[in-house]
Amino acid sequence: MKNNLLALLFLTLSFLGYSQDPITFETQVKKISENTFELVTTANIQNNWRLYSQNLSSGGAIPTEFIFNYKSQSIKLIGDVKESQSITKFDPIFQVEQSYFENKSTFTQLIETNKTIDNISAVIAYQACDDIVCIFREANLIFNFDGSTLAIDNIDLTSDIYENNNALAIDLKNTELLSTINDSSALTSNSYLNLFILGFIGGLLALLTPCVFPMIPLTVSFFTNNNNNSKNNSKFNAITYGLFIIGIYLTLSIPFHFLDSINPEILNSISTNAGLNIFFFIVFVLFAFSFFGFYEITIPSKWVNSIDSKSNSIGGYIGIFFMALTLVLVSFSCTGPILGSLLVGSISSQGGAIQLTIGMLGFGVALALPFTIFALFPNLLSTLPKSGRWMNTFKVILGFLELGFAFKFLSNADLVEHWGILKREVFIGIWVLISFALSMYLLGLYKFPHENKSVITSKFNLILGFFVLGFSVYLFPALLQNGSDKARILSGFTPPAFYSIYTKSNDCPLGFTCFKDFDSGLSYAKSQNKPILLDFTGWACVNCRRIEENVWTDPQVYSLINDNFVLISLYVDDRKELDVKDFITLKYKSGKEKIIKTVGEKGATFQAINFKSASQPYYVLLDNDLRILNKPIQYTSKDKYLNWLKEGLSNL
């Protein structure tokens, strides 16, 4: 369940079928002393997959568990199973910090025996995930006491991870259809190209600000008029200068690769963590008002002066590096808010710090290109527009955009906590006011207190002002009681249509009759003799909203769902606590327990146990006898979703 700030990237997830097991095991017995042995299990983990530790807190993945069959062989276990060093980071599937292994891990168990035995058996029950799906499996381990290494390949899919999983397990039929997703052609999100383009756009925006744009001719003049350089050297130095700019921005992402405490993957939790949402709301409001000119977010002047002096006193490539660093520091008051947007917008659940690095690369390339190109071709400088008030106007426009995006974070917190503060109409109303205020500014009807003059009503400003005013008019019908299907351009960005001031409660999408408890929905489906559309969704799931607002609103799709199915929507990020009497305690075979306390935990665990999936949106068609009608589907197009519904009905 993933969104990003600019809502430019679709968070489309695809469920893949695997021809091979992503985790394989090898076993070996090492003799420690005459009666003491060490049972060693080595897990070989495919790239991009994670095997979870034995030691996990509740609310996340299922811990790895060993069950040894030793009681009939006069064997004594010494201590617990020890594991190799795990990685503890934010997990994109479970949206919390988890301890897990990548590539390879080892587990060791000391035993003591007075008898000569050939082998000992055990079962390892485990969960493994990549950034898209999770699997639940058991492997039967055999430890041969002849010292040989034994490869284990008999891993079977199972939902019997818990000792008493009947609390949430259902008797599904046709479960073989769960191995693949119906829409295998769905695009994966946040490709490196998309991230690079997002960063590049951010760099282009930064170029047009008053902190950066005036420095282009000044910097180019330094390289082209420097008497100490030949023409070829000047051009080479200009290229070096551009490369240093790119390198500096790439360097900014390096700490995120090494320091877990500031790992950018933590930003994925903004979709469900109210505290982080509010924090980023405040940060972006501060960014917005800095663009409005009330204050500047700057690097301390001592730092800038120190770096600048080194660029003047040190020659060669080191001096050029300090020139590039000076540009980065001086322009921070304008680039900082854009970089903040890039930081939030480029990190997603399907990757790590590499995504931020790609975004920074795009930003650095866009910022460095004009300095390099104009130094290579100085005659092009005459084509640049002159610096002027237009740059301040552009900066203010960015401020309004930052302010609008800030409310998305507050909306996320409001949704998952059910505060009811930013209902859909309130959220859109804020955007209407922001758009209207921006249009009035562009039309020159007011100015900010620090400005000496109002915006010059040039032809461009008039056109842009009326365009923004038209946008606010376009949004306005969505504020009315029958306007829930308006503002399609903000689909997935606004709160869902059913989270409305016109409804008594945030009940169901598009006015459907729906159930948020599986047992209640199943009982109703049986009474009506209708099949079930099971919808695993989330309050902060962008693609869930896009399906509801762009696919379910299609007359044919809407009619099929409304007339032929019972809709059961389970929100996996719902923080609402269950009644104490409804708490569910699931016991692992080792005796460890997991207590299900919230509506979201119940829905997420229900999905994981029964459907071997942990991503949203995720749709399943069932008849009321719990027979799966066709392959599940995730984010997809309207036509494919319609055909999927028809296919399910035809299989009744």
Could you read off the pLDDT of 284-305 as tens digits, one per residue?
Answer: 888 888 888 887 766 566 655 6
Most confident of 365-369, 408-412, 492-496: 365-369
Domain assignment present for residue 559? The answer is yes
Residue 264 confidence (pLDDT) above 50: no
216 and 142 in a common domain: no
Domain assignment present for residue 312? The answer is yes
- What CATH number is attached to the domain comprising 518? 3.40.30.10
Most confident of 83-92, 253-262, 477-486: 83-92
What pairs with residue 250 in β-bridges?
none
221 and 152 in a common domain: no
Residue 148 confidence (pLDDT) above 80: no
Residue 533 confidence (pLDDT) above 60: yes
347 and 274 in a common domain: yes
pTM of the model: 0.52
Residue ending a domain, among 388, 418, 437, is 388
The stretch 464-480 carries a mean pLDDT of: 90
290 and 151 in a common domain: no
Most confident of 90-94, 128-132, 502-506: 128-132
86 and 131 in a common domain: yes
Q: How confident is the model at residue 350 (pLDDT cuts 50, 70, 90)?
A: very low
Domain assignment present for residue 621? The answer is yes
Q: Say which DSSP state 86 is in.
A: P
What the block records as the tokens of 524 is 């109703």
Residue ending a domain, among 339, 370, 388, is 388
Residue 561 confidence (pLDDT) above 80: yes
Write down the pLDDT at residue 466.
Answer: 93
What span, in angstroms and rounded, lies between the C-alpha atoms of 292 and 312?
Answer: 33
Most confident of 33-42, 68-77, 84-93, 247-256: 33-42
589 and 548 in a common domain: yes
The H-or-E segment that residue 305 falls in is helix 301-313
136 and 201 in a common domain: no
> What's the structural domain count of the chain?
3
Of 45-54, 108-117, 212-221, 300-309, minimum mean pLDDT range: 300-309
What span, in angstroms and rounded, lies between the C-alpha atoms of 294 and 288?
Answer: 10
- Name which residue leads in pLDDT, 114 or 535: 535
Residues 467, 469, 473, 476, CA torsion sign: positive
Q: How confident is the model at residue 482 (pLDDT cuts 50, 70, 90)?
A: low
Write down the pLDDT at residue 104.
Answer: 92
Write down the pLDDT at residue 71.
Answer: 64
- Name which residue leads in pLDDT, 266 or 490: 490
Counting residues of the chain whose pLDDT is more than 90, the rounded percentage is 17
- Name which residue leads in pLDDT, 2 or 599: 599
Q: Say which DSSP state 488 is in.
A: G
The stretch 414-436 carries a mean pLDDT of: 87
Cis-peptide into 617, omega within 30 deg:
yes
Residue ending a domain, among 388, 419, 449, is 388
Write down the pLDDT at residue 154.
Answer: 41
> What is the overall mean pLDDT for the chain?
77
198 and 127 in a common domain: no
120: left (phi over 0), alpha (psi -120 to 50) or beta: beta
Write down the pLDDT at residue 467.
Answer: 93
> Residue 496's closest CA among 482, 510, 483?
510
Write down the pLDDT at residue 241.
Answer: 85
Counting residues of the chain whose pLDDT is more than 70, the rounded percentage is 73
Encode pLDDT of 579-638 as tens digits: 888 888 876 655 566 678 888 878 888 887 888 776 778 899 999 899 999 999 988 888
Write down the pLDDT at residue 560.
Answer: 92
Residue 424 confidence (pLDDT) above 60: yes
Domain assignment present for residue 11? The answer is no
Domain assignment present for residue 585? The answer is yes
145 and 32 in a common domain: yes
Q: How confident is the model at residue 534 (pLDDT cuts 50, 70, 90)?
A: very high
Write down the pLDDT at residue 266.
Answer: 44
120 and 234 in a common domain: no
- Phi and psi at 347, nearest 5°, equal -90, 130
Domain assignment present for residue 220? The answer is yes
Q: How confident is the model at residue 440 (pLDDT cuts 50, 70, 90)?
A: very high
Of 73-87, 99-113, 372-386, 619-633, minimum mean pLDDT range: 372-386
The stretch 45-51 carries a mean pLDDT of: 88
Inter-residue contact 627 to 173 (CB < 8 Å): yes
What pairs with residue 627 in β-bridges?
173
What span, in angstroms and rounded, lies between the C-alpha atoms of 442 and 360?
Answer: 31
Q: Which distant-in-sequence residues (6+ apart) come within 8 Å of 316 by Cβ?
A: none
Encode pLDDT of 103-143 as tens digits: 999 999 999 887 778 788 888 878 888 765 667 677 778 88
Most confident of 182-186, 271-275, 442-446: 442-446
> Residue 209's closest CA among 287, 311, 283, 319?
287
Q: How confident is the model at residue 308 (pLDDT cuts 50, 70, 90)?
A: low
Of 328-337, 438-447, 631-640, minimum mean pLDDT range: 328-337
Q: Which distant-in-sequence residues (6+ apart) come within 8 Å of 619 by Cβ?
A: 533, 534, 535, 536, 632, 633, 634, 644
Residue 182 confidence (pLDDT) above 60: no
Residue 489 confidence (pLDDT) above 80: no
> Residue 355's closest CA among 201, 190, 187?
190
Residue 552 confidence (pLDDT) above 70: yes
- What CATH number is attached to the domain comprising 150? 2.60.40.1250
Q: How confident is the model at residue 162 (pLDDT cuts 50, 70, 90)?
A: low
Residue 523 confidence (pLDDT) above 90: yes
Domain assignment present for residue 242? The answer is yes
Inter-residue contact 52 to 93 (CB < 8 Å): no
Write down the pLDDT at residue 386.
Answer: 66
What span, in angstroms and rounded, lies between the C-alpha atoms of 448 and 438?
Answer: 12
Range of the structural domain that residue 578 is part of: 509-650
The stretch 434-443 carries a mean pLDDT of: 92
Write down the pLDDT at residue 638.
Answer: 86
Of 265-274, 339-348, 397-406, minimum mean pLDDT range: 265-274
Of 430-444, 479-493, 592-606, minimum mean pLDDT range: 479-493
516 and 644 in a common domain: yes
- Name which residue leads in pLDDT, 301 or 642: 642
What pairs with residue 26 in β-bridges?
42, 151
Write down the pLDDT at residue 260.
Answer: 40
Domain assignment present for residue 441? The answer is no
Encode pLDDT of 612-625 as tens digits: 776 778 899 999 89
Residue 436 confidence (pLDDT) above 90: yes
231 and 136 in a common domain: no
